[in-house]
Amino acid sequence: MRQDLNKDHHLRKRLDEYHIDIPDFPMKPNRWERFIHFLASPAKDPLDPLISTSNGLLVLKLVPIIGTTAIAFIQVLLIL
When pLDDT is averaged across residues 9-33 and rounded to a whole number, the result is 81
Three-state SS at 59:
helix
Domain boundaries, the chain: 2-79
Say what the pLDDT of residue 3 is. 66
DSSP 29: -
Task: Give the global pTM.
Answer: 0.41
Q: Provide the terminal-to-terminal Cα distance of the chain, rounded to the nearest Å.
A: 89
Say what the pLDDT of residue 69 is. 96
Q: What pLDDT digit, counting tens, does each position of 42-56 carry?
A: 888 888 887 888 888
Closest listed residue to residue 50, CA positions, set 66, 42, 61? 61
Say what the pLDDT of residue 5 is. 61
